[in-house]
Chains A and B, each alone.
Chain A
Amino acid sequence: MNNKYIFGGIIIVIFFGIMGFLLTQTNIKYEENFVELTKSDATIKATGSWVKEKNYEIDRENNIFSFYMKDFNGKEIKVIYNGAVPNNFESSTSVVVTGKYKEGNFYASDILTKCPSKYENEYEAAKKTS
């Protein structure tokens, strides 16, 4: 066996080793069940929908935007975000918030809003006849 293959092999192993390690370190799980969410203190991407009946609040003094979000079971959680209301928020059908759960609140570092109309039209999906 040639030296250069051994050398190359070691480098590749180290490279993928570091990559694999960092992948697990920076991994963010998606969570749709908020009961599970409250059990963890890791960074999580929580997916759910904004509870429209409960208005969102904007605290301008502290630059905090907060709202209630519910999962598919209807379990609600308060989301606190340091920043402005995201674009498209009002018309979003689902929200993905990235952050951590701490003492009853979910502190988000990022909010992603998904709109049915964004690229594809799903109006029909929610159609109702009278």
Chain B
Amino acid sequence: MVGNILITFALLASVFSITMYYFTYKGYDNALKLARAAYHATSISIIGASAYLMYAILNHQYEFKYVYDYSNSDLSVGMLMSTFWAGQQGSFLLWLLLTALSGLALLEYTSKRGNLESRVMMVFTLAVTFLLIMVSPGLKNPFTLIWSDPTYIDLKNISQSFMSLPFINDFLFTDQSSGASLVLINEKLAGLLASNGISINDFIQFGKGLNPLLNNFWMQIHPPILFVGFAMSTVPFSFAFAALISNDYKDWVTSSLPWLLGGMMVLGLAIMLGGYWAYVILGWGGYWGWDPVENSSLVPWIVGVAGIHTMLIQKRTQTKEHAGRFVKTNLILSILTYLLVLYSTFLTRSGILGDASVHSFVSPGMVTYALLLIFISTFTILGFGAIIYRWKYLEKTFTSEENILSRELALFVGAVLLLGSAAIIIAGTSMPIFGSAVEISFYNEMILPIAILLGILNGLSLLINWKKTSEKTLIDNLKIPLFVTFILTVVAVVWGGFNDIMAIIFMFSALFSMVINTKTIYKIVKNNISYIGGYVAHLGFAFFMLGVIGTGWFTTEKQVELIQGETKSALGYDFTFTGYTPVDNGKKYKFNVNVVKDGSENTLSPVMYVSDFNQSLMRDPDLLNLITKDLYLSPVSYEDAKEASGGEHNHQTTLIKGEPFEFHGSNITFTKFNFPQDAMNSMQSGADFFIGAVIEILHDGKTYTIEPKMKSSSGVKTFEDAVVEGTNLKIELKNLDASGKIEVVINELSKTDEPTKEVQVAKGASLWVDISVKPFINLIWVGTLTIVLGFFISMVRRTKEAK
């Protein structure tokens, strides 16, 4: 109740705030106070609702369906807190909360800058309103009570002490497919419990728990940071819209730039953390899989970054009377960044990507789907509608000047390249809407040439001055960096043994950018450290590209079987599997692998376990960070020690009646059971009996029939082996299943016509692992963090300028 009252109140207050801001804009100055008060009331209610949900989670109030669905009493406090955003409802609330908080800062910021506040806050609060509708009762509401829709929950989650209640039996059911005992929780049961003075929070003892993929540290930080980025992306949209309303395009760039920088810094960090999470925990092996969900948050980032570049030009070219260049571009990009955030949300939450992505949400239902569409449409119509409305004026007032060789032009081309890559990614990512998908190669092939051009351009642009540069100056400036880059490229190519021309060009491009940015940073860091932000970010991008070359072209991988106690060499390392140790109270197992190279010894411990949550085998990789490369160990499977193994080639399988099984060129078919009437009578009377399994083998064009038997003697079952005369096959019967299946081990005997040559060798426990060596993967992380640092330095500078 409390939660929904707060949400509803916040919703009403936000609508009131928008109205009052509108009146303020229309000139009713006394409405401003009300607008502010209403926005503060909205924020406080949202904070209150969020705190209430957190309280409910921490206190295991399973009366809330959301708490029951995503958390459990055995989670640590940190993980318990992160279940706040484990599902659709809670993550919408988190996004809303962070948007509301950003709004408080934005209100403070705009209130000090002319008459910006009413125009900016009007549209910003509208975004808050939409998110509030999203979490309203009846939609993606985290405060829905568990009995409001009849729900079957597993009996084991119910406190056993209430099982003796007389009315409980009316609510017990059995799921016929899984055999699980379920309790129907509905309004009637809730009423009966209440009339007996039992709280539903005591009645339900456990929740469903958190998906093991989410149950780790990164879950605690990645989603909140991502949503801060999403929330801050609302701000440039609001500024652009405010500029369009007042038809004044000069100051908004200065006010908006620090927010865009901040938003893209946070969003970039979040995307990187997501990649790191996939790498170290989820065991995807890489940091980026071009998964539609990853892509959809990358696209707004790229567009936002393109916007930063063109906004810098506008600021740079501003004069007292002129707003500067690329006014239209900046408006469009600021609006587009937020629209793409909404589009990303739509793709991941509408269920469209259900079959295409590893981690999208399932379909949220028609109403939410429609609301998401209305959300996007509204902001698209607002943003682009305003641009179209002002287009005549914009077109007339801001005609672009001739593009001469200048840094402005270079920055603009850079922005165009970024937008090109964004177009590529969004095209590939949107394919599931049309019921298909693209191969990963689409992205790699399309993006690579753009990345090469970006690296070169990035270096070149720093050699070109603002306004105008003569070609001669450019060539003079170019000589030394080009020479250094050339030497470095040759060294890298020879040392690394490059054999792909694209990789060499890419290497050159990355090094060129690195050399020039390093030189520039060195030159200006002494004078004014606050000016190096852009160069630091570009240096980070160069590092990142080098990391991509290392991992993309030079990763080596191999799958090996490690037998306990035996040392095996692979990819230049010696691996010894030493056994496993239970962790987490025996719920998980660490598989310890000793890794030796050049006398240095390390232990890697990938983890495997069967999760209670989904009864599935889960695997966590482990890695060894060797500075210049990572040794990455991903577990595949484990087999206990075997006492003795059978023939040289054997294969255990289940044969189904009438279905041929192919084994090394032979077709093996189990045709029927031979179960004569007298054997059946013997079985029923408890005497000894046998059942034969008739198996036909098609080998080299001939058909052979064998009939190994199961014999039951004094209740002890034994199974026969049968050698297929004329072939090299021996079939061992292992088990029968009356439903028409048999389990067999098929042996391929050695061709020397020797009879069964049993290899009675005991085999140690074996661990299969995927081993890979990823050179310079650390440059990926160092590069991204350097980019983030660059954004931070720039943000500080631009915030000072916006005063």
Which residues in A have some Cβ–Cβ distance to B below 8 Å? 4, 15, 18-19, 22-23, 25-30, 43, 45, 47, 54-55, 57-61, 63, 83-85, 87-91, 96, 112, 114-124, 126-130
- Closest chain-A Cβ to B292's Cβ sits at a distance in Å of 11
CB atoms of A91 and B614 under 8 A apart: yes
Residues of chain A within 8 A of B768, CB atoms compared: 60, 63, 84
CB atoms of B435 and A29 under 8 A apart: yes
CB atoms of A85 and B617 under 8 A apart: yes
With contacts A22-B445, A22-B446, A128-B177 taken as known, whether A28 is within 8 angstroms of B437 at the C-beta atoms is yes
Residues of chain B within 8 A of A43, CB atoms compared: 439
CB atoms of A130 and B355 under 8 A apart: no
Q: Pick the contact of A126: B69, B177, B613, B637 (CB < 8 A).
A: B177
- Closest chain-B Cβ to A118's Cβ sits at a distance in Å of 6
CB atoms of B439 and A117 under 8 A apart: no
Does B616 interact with chain A (Cβ within 8 Å)?
yes
Q: Pick the contact of B561: A60, A85, A90, A130 (CB < 8 A).
A: A60
CB atoms of B439 and A112 under 8 A apart: no
CB atoms of A124 and B615 under 8 A apart: no
CB atoms of B437 and A122 under 8 A apart: no
A119 to B614 alpha-carbon distance, docked (Å) = 12
Residue of B nearest to A45 (CB): B437
Does B174 interact with chain A (Cβ within 8 Å)?
yes
CB atoms of A26 and B439 under 8 A apart: yes
CB atoms of B424 and A128 under 8 A apart: no
Q: Of B86, B87, B617, B651, which is in contact with the most chain A CB atoms at under 10 Å from its CB? A: B617
Residue of A nearest to B618 (CB): A87
CB atoms of B613 and A130 under 8 A apart: no
CB atoms of A120 and B438 under 8 A apart: no
Chain B interface, >50% SS class: mixed
Q: Pick the contact of B437: A30, A54, A115 (CB < 8 A).
A: A30
- Rank and list the top 6 A-B pairs by shortest CB-CB distance, nearest first: A26-B442, A84-B636, A26-B439, A91-B614, A88-B616, A120-B362
CB atoms of B69 and A121 under 8 A apart: yes
With contacts A4-B403, A26-B439, A30-B355 taken as known, whether A124 is within 8 angstroms of B151 at the C-beta atoms is yes
A119 to B70 alpha-carbon distance, docked (Å) = 8
With contacts A19-B424, A128-B177 taken as known, whether A30 is within 8 angstroms of B617 at the C-beta atoms is no
Does B52 interact with chain A (Cβ within 8 Å)?
no
Residues of chain A within 8 A of B435, CB atoms compared: 29-30
With contacts A119-B361, A121-B208, A123-B152 taken as known, whether A54 is within 8 angstroms of B617 at the C-beta atoms is no
Does B647 interact with chain A (Cβ within 8 Å)?
no
CB atoms of B619 and A130 under 8 A apart: no
Does B436 interact with chain A (Cβ within 8 Å)?
yes
CB atoms of B152 and A127 under 8 A apart: yes
- 22 interchain pairs, CB-CB under 8 A: A15-B420, A23-B428, A23-B431, A27-B431, A27-B436, A28-B436, A30-B437, A60-B768, A87-B616, A88-B616, A90-B616, A96-B356, A114-B362, A119-B88, A120-B87, A123-B152, A124-B151, A127-B152, A127-B175, A128-B175, A130-B173, A130-B176
Residues of chain A within 8 A of B177, CB atoms compared: 126, 128
Beyond the given pairs A27-B437, A112-B358, 4 more chain A to chain B contacts, judged by CB atoms under 8 angstroms and listed by A's residue number, are: A30-B435, A58-B637, A96-B355, A96-B356
Does B487 interact with chain A (Cβ within 8 Å)?
no
CB atoms of B87 and A26 under 8 A apart: no
Residues of chain A within 8 A of B211, CB atoms compared: 117-119
CB atoms of B438 and A23 under 8 A apart: yes
A84 to B350 alpha-carbon distance, docked (Å) = 31
Chain A interface, >50% SS class: loop
Q: Of B208, B213, B355, B559, which is in contact with the most chain A CB atoms at under 10 Å from its CB? A: B355
Q: Pick the contact of B656: A25, A54, A122 (CB < 8 A).
A: A54
A106 to B636 alpha-carbon distance, docked (Å) = 22
Residues of chain A within 8 A of B164, CB atoms compared: none
Q: Pick the contact of B616: A25, A89, A130 (CB < 8 A).
A: A89
Task: Indicate with 1 or 0, residue by residue over B163-181, a CB within 8 angstroms of chain A CB atoms.
Answer: 0000000000111110000
Residues of chain B within 8 A of A60, CB atoms compared: 561, 637, 639, 768
List residues of B (657-710) whose CB comes within 8 Å of A's CBs.
none
A58 to B617 alpha-carbon distance, docked (Å) = 14
Does B354 interact with chain A (Cβ within 8 Å)?
yes
Residue of A nearest to B659 (CB): A54
Interface size class of B (residues with CB under 8 A): 35 or more
- Closest chain-A Cβ to B416's Cβ sits at a distance in Å of 9
Task: Indicate with 1 or 0, residue by residue over B752-775, a CB within 8 angstroms of chain A CB atoms.
Answer: 000000000000000010100000
A58 to B654 alpha-carbon distance, docked (Å) = 12
CB atoms of B87 and A114 under 8 A apart: no
Residues of chain B within 8 A of A47, CB atoms compared: 355
A127 to B439 alpha-carbon distance, docked (Å) = 37
Q: Of B173, B436, B639, which is in contact with the most chain A CB atoms at under 10 Å from its CB? A: B436
A127 to B653 alpha-carbon distance, docked (Å) = 33
A115 to B354 alpha-carbon distance, docked (Å) = 10
Does B427 interact with chain A (Cβ within 8 Å)?
yes
A22 to B450 alpha-carbon distance, docked (Å) = 15
CB atoms of B615 and A91 under 8 A apart: yes
Residues of chain A within 8 A of B151, CB atoms compared: 124
- Closest chain-A Cβ to B196's Cβ sits at a distance in Å of 24
CB atoms of A90 and B615 under 8 A apart: yes
With contacts A60-B768, A84-B636, A85-B637 taken as known, whether A30 is within 8 angstroms of B436 at the C-beta atoms is yes
Residue of A nearest to B153 (CB): A123
A98 to B489 alpha-carbon distance, docked (Å) = 38
CB atoms of B173 and A128 under 8 A apart: yes
Q: Of B88, B150, B176, B431, which is in contact with the most chain A CB atoms at under 10 Å from its CB? A: B431
Does B441 interact with chain A (Cβ within 8 Å)?
yes
Q: Pick the contact of B613: A26, A59, A117 (CB < 8 A).
A: A117
CB atoms of A120 and B88 under 8 A apart: yes
Does B644 interact with chain A (Cβ within 8 Å)?
no
Residues of chain A within 8 A of B69, CB atoms compared: 121
Residue of B nearest to A116 (CB): B362
Task: Indicate with 1 or 0, residue by residue over B62-92, a CB within 8 angstroms of chain A CB atoms.
Answer: 0000000100000000000000001110000
- Closest chain-B Cβ to A127's Cβ sits at a distance in Å of 5
A58 to B206 alpha-carbon distance, docked (Å) = 36
Does B423 interact with chain A (Cβ within 8 Å)?
yes
List residues of B (99-113) whose CB comes within 8 Å of A's CBs.
none
Residue of B nearest to A129 (CB): B173
Residues of chain B within 8 A of A15, CB atoms compared: 420, 423
A59 to B174 alpha-carbon distance, docked (Å) = 37
A84 to B362 alpha-carbon distance, docked (Å) = 25
A98 to B617 alpha-carbon distance, docked (Å) = 21
A123 to B69 alpha-carbon distance, docked (Å) = 11
Residues of chain B within 8 A of A120, CB atoms compared: 87-88, 361-362, 364
CB atoms of B354 and A114 under 8 A apart: yes
Task: Indicate with 1 or 0, residue by residue over B361-383, a CB within 8 angstroms of chain A CB atoms.
Answer: 11010000000000000000000
Residues of chain B within 8 A of A84, CB atoms compared: 636-637, 768, 770
Residue of A nearest to B650 (CB): A61
A22 to B446 alpha-carbon distance, docked (Å) = 8
Residue of A nearest to B561 (CB): A60
